[in-house]
């Protein structure tokens, strides 16, 4: 990545390397995903008061009632989305602070990300600009609607939990594509939907904990 965010102390490269070692121990074995996680400085995406915890395996608050997912969850969802192959065009539903977006930017040729909270997106847009990610496009929009104007996507990743996937998003998944998302309300699980020429298949995986997916857009 272009920007220099090497950091010192708890935000140093050494701390990031320890995070990668922990991810390996937790079962993340896609070396491309691990390299992407190593390339993106997580401390840049958390609130300054929490920077000492940036590389802990925990979700952290980022204001606006949102959270940055734990490193393991970001790595796990990225690994599931990639499934061992280079991604062409990816849609992220829920830009949040931009951490997952920056990781996806290491894994895909094109990344489109939508965020419903305008003020949050403004902050994230400014932060991501430092990294000069010319193949990333951010949009203030209702994630439940996706981005039909640039569909289909060979990967869709959702950063909020839903009890059912909106049909509009399913339609925007390319044949051969994969969607990774948390499903449920009280009890949540990571799920993968794969689309083939005959329809869709869904696989339920790990337990998860995400904020709920909401419709509509807000300015702040």
What are the residue numbers of the active site? 69
DSSP secondary structure string for all residues of 20-84: HHHHHHTT---HHHHHHHHHS-GGGGS-GGGGGGTTSSS-EE-STT-EEPPHHHHHHHHHHHHTT
- Which residues pair with residue 60 across a beta bridge? 68
3-state secondary structure of 155: strand
Cα dist from 84 to 30, 80, 219, whole Å: 7, 8, 38
Q: How far apart are CA 137 and CA 155, in angstroms?
A: 15
Q: Angle CA(114)–CA(115)–CA(117) in degrees, nearest 5?
A: 160
Cβ distance 210 to 188 under 8 Å? yes
């Amino acid at each position: 990545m272009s920007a220099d965010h090497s950091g010192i102390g708890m935000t140093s490269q050494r701390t990031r390397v320890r995070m990668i070692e922990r991810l390996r121990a937790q079962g993340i074995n896609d070396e491309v995903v691990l390299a992407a996680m190593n390339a993106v400085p997580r401390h840049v995406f958390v609130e300054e008061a929490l920077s000492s915890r940036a590389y802990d395996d925990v979700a952290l608050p980022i204001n606006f009632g949102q959270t940055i997912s734990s490193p393991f969850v970001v790595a796990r969802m990225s690994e599931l989305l990639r499934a061992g192959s280079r991604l062409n065009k990816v849609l992220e539903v829920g830009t949040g602070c931009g951490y997952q977006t920056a990781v996806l930017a290491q894994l895909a040729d094109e990344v489109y990300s939508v965020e419903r909270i305008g003020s949050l997106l403004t902050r994230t847009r400014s932060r991501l600009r430092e990294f000069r990610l010319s193949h990333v496009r951010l949009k203030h929009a209702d994630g439940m609607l996706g981005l039909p104007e640039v569909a289909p996507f060979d990967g869709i990743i959702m950063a909020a939990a839903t009890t059912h996937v909106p049909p509009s998003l399913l339609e925007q998944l390319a044949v051969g594509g994969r969607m990774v998302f948390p499903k449920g309300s009280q009890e949540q699980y990571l799920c993968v939907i794969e689309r083939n020429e005959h329809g869709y298949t869904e696989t339920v995986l790990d337990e998860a904990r995400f904020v709920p997916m909401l419709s509509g857009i807000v300015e702040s």
